[in-house]
Amino acid sequence: MRRIVMFFVMFLGLLLVVGSSGNFREYGADRIVKMAIVDGNDSYVSYSCSGSVIYMNKSSSVQFTAMTLSNSMNKTMSVRVEGDFSSLPEGLSGSVNDSWHTLDVGESVVIEGNFSADDNAISGTYTVPLTVYAEWDGGSAELKECSITVSLNSPKYVLRKGIVGGVYNYTSGDYTIVLQLNFTNNGPSGEFIIWDKIPSHLCSRCLGTCHWATANVTVESTSATAGTVLRPPTNISCGCHNIFNCCAGDLIGWRVHVSHGETVTLEMTLNVSFKVPSGCVANFTLNRGAHLCGTCLRSNKISVTVTGG
């Protein structure tokens, strides 16, 4: 009887050798009764956690590799990963690929994920626990050794543009459209120069046709919560003339002092005449983005869709 017990213990020892990059802490031979697995050099499922902090800014998204899983058994295995994102603040969301992956002997799978942050998300460092599940013929296992750490920061400068009222779809005709440019300074207080360009004439080929649509644009007025707006800019230099002199239009310069943490706003009132043939749908880019002088920062562009009438 003693020899039988010793043989059984040796047999379990051969089965439960675990891996260099990581190992499962529990093993279920019949998926009900679970037994501890001893640390070692070869695991049933080798895993490699990312370990690196994911750095991102507000108003952005980022993709990342959460972990890599490998099948070190002598039989096919199915694995999946779940992330617990419940501790993230409002405005910051994330996900990992939580699909089941079937791995043949020696195969690996890379588990990807992503984070997305709004402008209002609270800066800070957050940790997301990961749980790995594995199943194979005759057993299952579970691991809770890995996690993802994300550090959310405010970008030094933020330039964002939009249409007041949020209307981006029109029909052929004449409109008054107000563009709003917001600049937030998360860096030191200082003087800033922002250049912008409103093209005066736009052409667009109608979708799916050979017809052309046009838009004529004039800047009626500008209004800023701070600073001085120059049309055209004089006695200021941005070093970005090549960007804005590519086509005809209204060049606008905005010189403004912005304190740390402050947001200032510039509004541009446009008179726009869309001429789109009946049955045609055209896209126009009213603005390709404002430029913060001395940096590579550009705001988002403004595009609208116009249906012929």
Contact indicator for 65, 95 with CB cutoff of 8 Å = no
* Model pLDDT, residue 205: 77
Kindly report the CA angle at 45 between 44 and 46, in degrees rounded to 5? 115
The tens digit of pLDDT for each residue in 240-289 reads 444 444 445 688 999 999 999 899 999 999 999 999 988 888 899 998 88
φ/ψ of 218, rounded to 5, equals -130, 145
* Model pLDDT, residue 52: 85
Q: Is residue 75 part of a domain?
A: yes
In the chain, which residues have pLDDT < 70?
1-43, 208-210, 233-249
* Model pLDDT, residue 210: 65
Distance, CA of 149 to CA of 129 (rounded, Å): 9
Is the pTM here over 0.75, yes or no?
A: no
Contact indicator for 54, 148 with CB cutoff of 8 Å = yes
CATH classification at residue 175: 2.60.40
- The residue among 88, 122, 153 that closes a domain is 153
Structural domain of residue 129, as residue ranges? Answer: 17-153
- Do residues 105 and 170 both lie within one domain? no
Q: Is residue 4 part of a domain?
A: no
Give the sign of the dihedral formed by CA 182, CA 187, CA 191, CA 192.
negative
| DSSP bridge pairs for 280 | none
* Model pLDDT, residue 103: 94
* Model pLDDT, residue 235: 59
Which residue carries 């070869």 as its tokens? 42
| The two structure tokens encoding residue 291 | 């430029």
Q: Is residue 8 part of a domain?
A: no
* Model pLDDT, residue 147: 93
- The residue among 115, 135, 153 that closes a domain is 153
* Model pLDDT, residue 237: 63
* Model pLDDT, residue 151: 95
- Do residues 138 and 238 both lie within one domain? no
* Model pLDDT, residue 6: 37
Q: Is residue 6 part of a domain?
A: no
Give the chain's domain count: 2
Q: Is residue 12 part of a domain?
A: no
- Do residues 48 and 129 both lie within one domain? yes
Kindly report the CA angle at 35 between 29 and 37, in degrees rounded to 5? 105
